[in-house]
A and B are shown apart, each in its own frame.
Chain A
Amino acid sequence: MRWCPTFLRTTTVLAGILVLVLLPIRPAGAGVQPTSGPFGLFSFHLPSGWILQVARSEANLQVYHATDSAAALYIEVVEAQYKDVQEAADRIVAIYDSPWGLANFAIREQPLELDVGGFAGLMLSYSYQTAASQPVFETRVITLYRDHLVSVSVASETAEHLGPMLEDVLATWRWIPND
């Protein structure tokens, strides 16, 4: 078969049209998804590779599961009266480390100050053991917004990539105005 320039041009144009038509029909979850948090306080772009676990989510809690590992990403919003994020962090660590808290709780890194959509946040990195003696590594970012304690966590069986996973979420974090 001989490739004539007209045929080639036509084929190229048709292929281009086909690509343009099919581009918006990407399967859900193939890329980042705009997502709003509990109570509509904020929005973020959910990176690819996470699916919502409806069965474990509640009105003030969103739980996501990684498609390629056993990692969990979850976001919780609760009303709170903390005066600053440091007070909240101290309380959280004290409770997790108490007899009522987590088995074999251990701080892995010193708390790290960071910015969450323009508000002061703290990143806590720690490990603990489940009831089935499975070690879990977790990185949690907390911040205070409109009398709410907002907590974003990533937990996995390994400590690797937890920070970057959270940074992916926080990079697109936007607080939704009150009105």
Chain B
Amino acid sequence: MISISRFKWLNYLWVLVFSMLVVVSHPAVIAAEQDQVKLDTFEQSIGEQAAEQVIQQYGGEYFLPFEQHLVVDEIFQRLVAVAERRDVNYTLTILNTPVVNAFALPGGYVFLTRGLLQLMDSNPQAVAAILGHEIVHVEKRHGVQALARQMGLTLLIELGLIFFDLYNHEAVRTAGAVVVEMAQSGWSREAEFEADALGMDLAVEAGFDPMGPVYAMDFLRQLEPGELPLAWFRSHPDEEARQARLQEQAASYWTPKVGEAWRTTPEARMTLVQDPLGRYQLSLDDSASAATLEIWDAQLEQPRTWAEHLTDVSAAHWNPDGQYLAVAGRDDSGRRGIWLLDRYGRGRDPWRLPVEGTVTALAWESSGARLAYVLADATGSSIQLAYVKGRTDVPAAVLNHVPDIIVWEPDGLSWTGESRDQWHGVSIPSLQPVQPPYPVPRVIEPDFRSRPEVTVEGTDDTTIFRIRRPNILLP
């Protein structure tokens, strides 16, 4: 009798314990403030454990040259500064591998690979986009949520142990190993979409370009399918939809300034075609039936025609340092688009080929990183923004008229049509340049190659001194 009643009592106890575990594992309970601290501690422990595994797995930490380290760290710190969770101590580690990947672990451990930074040429906007995305994974606890789904009841029990302060190293180690596996292959489709959207918000709030994620995706798509980072692409079979979603969100940050008086005057157009280095004068003779790009070369004092394969040239604009000339026109096979010519007028390959419509105006921003152009078709027009090294453009504004002048302002873009009587504009989120407030001077190594190199050859009778010329870089 006694043994039977003890058995029954034990059964009741297990039911009670299990019920408590399920109850405390419920999100509403997890959110309770007193339990939140314990959950954060557990999250931190898993992340710490997993981070060690990741660093070992990827060949250790890679230490960037300090100039590059300061820039990447500045980007990361700016993003962390606008993140919401104050309980997380964010750390960024560069992994020493040529593999292109980026991921974040619970507890604020963010990883980029050396290969990813090389691929993106450490471009601040693209790197900020990647880091913003990863930080959101931590902010929204995507790792812990995915872990709960993956480990199911086992994890619930472990989580239950958290609330009784009974979890042990073995439980953390097991969870950490699962997290490492999952983090590298991406959390869930929903989590990735959320990280895309909120990551862009985070980057913009930190003073980066909303186009950054679009630009980053352009970089990633240069890779072969087998080289694509799993964390970014395995859970995104519909890459086109993701790209479209990013473009749409990026465009939403630009605010129309319809009806407002803008500073730009029609004289601004004169600056559009002047060579910043003063050698060339452009002439767009749009009275001709098939406008070509006529150049007056002040150095050789003779006229020239550049890009003879282009006709119907509608706009041209030098980039700020005078190294590229963007030209909108139509080539000899009838394709309309934009060509980038170098300083000597060379460049046959089109840079942008819109599927439909023609380019009626274009303008570089002062940094030379982005080009804005007007794309017009029968239904109307839009202003597109393009990164010079990117492949995907983002519409900054959709218009019901066709401007033929577009000008970058300090805080946006303005444009006008043929009537010149009204200027319209759109404000663009201001970009804060990445400039560490506490910089460290560069270290320039002496050019040891400039020292004459003397070698002695010969026999007892003859001695030959060979002197290699010093390699001094003359001004």
Show the binding face of A for B, using Cβ within 8 Å: 51-56, 61, 63, 65, 67, 69-72, 74, 76, 78-82, 88, 91-92, 95-96, 98-102, 128, 130, 132, 134, 136, 138, 140, 142, 149, 151, 153, 155-157
Complex Cα distance, B472 from A94, in Å, reads: 33
User: Nearest chain-A residue to B69 (Cβ)?
Assistant: A100
Q: Which residues of A contact B65 (CB under 8 A)?
A: 100
Contact of A79 among B435, B447, B448, B450 (CB under 8 A): B435
Q: Are B447 and A65 in contact (CB under 8 A)?
A: yes
**A138/B443 contact (C-beta < 8 A), A52-B475, A96-B66, A100-B64 known:** yes
Q: Are A51 and B472 in contact (CB under 8 A)?
A: yes
Q: Are B444 and A153 in contact (CB under 8 A)?
A: yes
Apart from A70-B447, A138-B443, what are 9 other A-B pairs with CB-CB below 8 Å? Answer: A51-B474, A54-B475, A78-B441, A79-B435, A100-B66, A136-B445, A136-B446, A140-B441, A155-B443
Q: Which residues of A contact B444 (CB under 8 A)?
A: 56, 61, 63, 72, 74, 153, 155
Q: Are B446 and A92 in contact (CB under 8 A)?
A: no
Residue B4 interfacial (CB < 8 Å): no
Q: Are A65 and B450 in contact (CB under 8 A)?
A: yes
Q: Are B437 and A81 in contact (CB under 8 A)?
A: yes
Residue B1 interfacial (CB < 8 Å): no
Tally of B interface residues using CB under 8 Å: 25
Residue B225 interfacial (CB < 8 Å): no
Q: Are B441 and A70 in contact (CB under 8 A)?
A: no
Contact code string B437-475 (vs A, CB < 8 Å = 1, else 0): 111111111111011000000000000000000001111
Q: Which residues of A contact B69 (CB under 8 A)?
A: 100
Q: Are B473 and A54 in contact (CB under 8 A)?
A: yes
Residue B12 interfacial (CB < 8 Å): no
Q: Are A95 and B446 in contact (CB under 8 A)?
A: no
Q: Are A82 and B438 in contact (CB under 8 A)?
A: yes
Contact code string B50-77 (vs A, CB < 8 Å = 1, else 0): 0000000000000111100110000000
Q: Which residues of B contact A52 (CB under 8 A)?
A: 475
Q: Are B446 and A70 in contact (CB under 8 A)?
A: yes
Q: Are A70 and B450 in contact (CB under 8 A)?
A: yes
Q: Are B475 and A80 in contact (CB under 8 A)?
A: no
User: Nearest chain-B residue to A151 (Cβ)?
Assistant: B441
Dominant SS among interface residues on chain B = loop
The 6 closest A-B pairs by CB, nearest first: A151-B441, A100-B69, A100-B66, A72-B446, A99-B63, A81-B437
User: Can you name 5 A-B residue pairings with CB atoms under 8 Å?
Assistant: A65-B472, A88-B438, A96-B66, A140-B441, A149-B441
User: Nearest chain-B residue to A94 (Cβ)?
Assistant: B440
Complex Cα distance, B474 from A54, in Å, reads: 7
Complex Cα distance, B437 from A82, in Å, reads: 8
Q: Which residues of A contact B66 (CB under 8 A)?
A: 95-96, 98, 100-101
Complex Cα distance, B444 from A63, in Å, reads: 8
User: Nearest chain-B residue to A154 (Cβ)?
Assistant: B446
Q: Which residues of B contact A96 (CB under 8 A)?
A: 66, 440, 443
Complex Cα distance, B445 from A99, in Å, reads: 18
Output the least CB separation between A151 and chain B (Å).
Answer: 4
Complex Cα distance, B447 from A156, in Å, reads: 9
Output the least CB separation between B441 and chain A (Å).
Answer: 4
Contact code string B409-442 (vs A, CB < 8 Å = 1, else 0): 0000000000000000000000000010111111
User: Nearest chain-B residue to A57 (Cβ)?
Assistant: B475
Q: Are A91 and B446 in contact (CB under 8 A)?
A: no
Q: Which residues of A contact B447 (CB under 8 A)?
A: 53, 65, 70, 72
B159-192: which residues lie under 8 A (CB-CB) from chain A? none
**A95/B70 contact (C-beta < 8 A), A70-B447, A151-B441, A157-B446 known:** yes
User: Which of B444, B451, B475 is most buried by chain A, counting CB atoms within 10 A of its CB?
Assistant: B444
Q: Are A78 and B451 in contact (CB under 8 A)?
A: no
Q: Which residues of A contact B448 (CB under 8 A)?
A: 70, 130, 132, 134, 157
B346-401: which residues lie under 8 A (CB-CB) from chain A? none
